[in-house]
Amino acid sequence: MSKTFYITTPIFYPNAKLHMGHAYTVTLCDIICRAQKIQGKEGYLLTGADENTGKILKVVEEQGQSVEEYLSQVTENFKDLYSKLGISYNQFIKTSDKEKHWPGAQALWKKLVDAGDIYKASYTGLYCVGCETFYTEKDLADGKCPVHLTAPEQIKEENYFFRLSKYTQVIKEKIESDELLVLPQTRKNEILALLERGLEDISFSRPVKNVPHGIPVPGDNSQVIYVWCDALVNYISALGYGRDDELFQKFWPADVHVVGKDILRFHAAIWPAMLLSAGISLPKSLLVHGLITSGGHKMSKSLGNVIDPYELIEEYGYEAVRYYLAREVSPFEDGDMTTERFKESYNANLANGIGNLTSRIMKMAQDNLDAPIVITEEKNMSEYFALYDTYEISKAGDYVWNEIKFLDQYIQEHQPFKLIKTDKEAGQKMISDLVARLHRVALMLAPILPETSEKIKTLIKENKVPETQLFVRKD
C-alpha cells in the first residue's frame, strides 16, 4: 500500500469574500489528511488561489491597487482563515507565481501541442462574463447561464482549442470502472450521463487583453492560457511538474481532489482529458461535496443568510466550527447551517457531550486514583479510521459521539463515585477503565478536534480535571 497521501482543495477565486463554503472544503480536506497521517501515511495537503482571472481587474482598478498588491492581500486573508480553522496545509500555490506555477502550465500546454490536441480556430460562442466560461446551447437553462441566470453574450474570437471530444470514451471507461473513482455515486452517475451525451472541444486560450496578467501561450504572446490549462494544472505545478519534479514523483497521482459539485465537470472530464493527452497518470479519486446552504437556501447577501466563519470562530472557538462541518454536514450532500442549529449542536455535543464527560471522568480519576493510568497500545481503531478512507466523516463523528453517549450512560447506571465508597478496588478499576475509554475517544477525535484531543490526553497523563471547561455552554 502506498505510503503517501496527496489531497488537494480547489484553488479559490480571489474576488469573493470567504464564507462557510470555502471553510467547508478546506476543513474537510484537513480532517481527511490528518486521519491518513494518524494511520501512518505521509500526507500532503495542497491549497491555493486561482488568480489569473479577469474578474479582479475591475476591483483592482476601483481600489487603485496593483494586481500583485491585491492578490497578496487576498492570500493573507485565506491564510488567516486557514490558521484560525487549524488547517495544517503543506503548500499554498498561487497561479500568479511565475516561478512555481507558470513553468508547469506551459510545460503541460506543450505536451498537449505535441500530442496534436491543440488547434487554432475562430470561435463564436456564448460567453458568460460572471463564469468567464463559454457555454454551449445544451448547457444553458432556458437560454440563460445556469449559475448566474443571465443571458450569455455572443462573442467571436480567435482561440486555441483543445480536442476534448477525443477523450470522451476513454474517460467514460475509466470512471465506469472506478479507475478514476468519483464519489458519491450520484455524482458518478451525473458525470457518466454527461459523457454519454459527448464532449465538445473547448476553447483553451484568451486574447491577452482580457487577462493581461495571465500565463502567455508558449510561442504566441497574443494569447494567454485560459482557465483549464492554468487553474487545473496547479495540482501538479505545485509539486514541481515542469521545473523540479521530486515532489511530483513522490506524490502524484493525487489520492483525492476534493471539489464542490459545481466544478465536477472540470475535474471529471477536462482535467482527465488533459492528463491523458499529456501521458500523465490520472488522480485516483474525486470527492465531490455538496454546497452549504443556510435555512435551506444558498447563502447570499440579499437573503441575509450568509454565515461568516470568523464570527462563529470568535464566539464558539474554531473547533466548534470544525465539529459542525465534520459531523453535521455530510460530505456527499448539501448541508444546511443556521446559527440556531449550530448553537444547539454545540451545547448538546461539545459542552454537554465531550466537555462534560471529560470533566466527570477526570474528576473521579483525580479524586480516586493514586497515579495516572498507564495507556497500553490502543487496539481495534482500524474500524473507526476506515471510515475516513471512504470519506465518511459524519459517520466517523457519529461513531465517536455514540461512544460518548455510551460512557455517559455507563456512569449514570454504574455510579462509580458511589461504588468507590463501598469497594475501593472495584471502584478504582471501573474509573481506570473509564479513563482508558476516554483516551480512546481522544485518539478518535484527533482528525476533527486536534486541540481537544491533545488536551484530553494531557489531562489523562497528569490525572487532572480540566482547569476550565473544554467547551463552555452558551445560552
Site for ligand MSP contains 299 (CB under 6 A): yes
Q: CA torsion angle for 113, 117, 122, 127 (degrees, to 10)?
A: -110
Residues 172 and 196: beta-carbon distance below 8 Å: yes
Peptide bond into 103 cis (omega under 30): no
Q: Which of residues 2-41 bind ligand MSP (CB under 6 A)?
A: 10-13, 16, 21-22, 24-25
Which residue's CB is nearer to ligand MSP, number 18 or number 445? 18
Active site residue 98: no
Site for ligand MSP contains 291 (CB under 6 A): yes
Q: Residue 178 — left, alpha, or beta (φ > 0 → left; ψ -120 to 50 → alpha)? A: left
Active site residue 33: no
* Nearest distance from C-beta of residue 288 to ligand MSP, angstroms: 9
Q: From the candidates 131, 363, 457, 474, give the one annotated as an active-site residue.
A: 131
DSSP 369: -
407 — phi, psi (to 5°)? -65, -40
Please write down the long-range contacts of 246-252, taking CB distance under 8 Å and 24 or more positions apart. 247/44, 250/4, 251/4, 251/6, 251/44, 252/6, 252/280, 252/281
**CB burial of residue 101 (10 Å; 0-12, 13-18, 19+):** buried
118 — phi, psi (to 5°)? -115, 130
Q: From the candidates 17, 297, 298, 421, give the one annotated as an active-site residue.
A: 298
Which residue's CB is nearer to ligand MSP, number 276 or number 299? 299
Q: Which of residues 246-275 bind ligand MSP (CB under 6 A)?
A: 259-260, 262-263
Which residue's CB is nearer to ligand MSP, number 125 or number 260? 260
Which residue's CB is nearer to ligand MSP, number 292 or number 470? 292
Site for ligand MSP contains 50 (CB under 6 A): yes
Which residue's CB is nearer to ligand MSP, number 231 or number 393? 231
Q: From the candidates 128, 172, 188, 439, give the one annotated as an active-site residue.
A: 128
Q: From the candidates 101, 145, 172, 289, give the one annotated as an active-site residue.
A: 145
Which residue's CB is nearer to ligand MSP, number 231 or number 268? 231
Site for ligand MSP contains 229 (CB under 6 A): no
Residues 152 and 135: beta-carbon distance below 8 Å: yes
C-alpha cell at 193: 450521463
Q: From the candidates 148, 156, 414, 418, give the one annotated as an active-site residue.
A: 148
Residue nearest to ligand MSP (CB): 260
Strand order in the sheet with 205-207: 205-207, 220-225, 216-217
Strand order in the sheet with 202-203: 133-135, 118-128, 153-162, 202-203
Active site residue 19: yes
Active site residue 22: yes
Site for ligand MSP contains 231 (CB under 6 A): yes
Interacting residues with ligand MSP (CB under 6 A): 10-13, 16, 21-22, 24-25, 50, 231-232, 234, 259-260, 262-263, 291-292, 299
**Residues forming the active site:** 19, 22, 128, 131, 145, 148, 298, 301
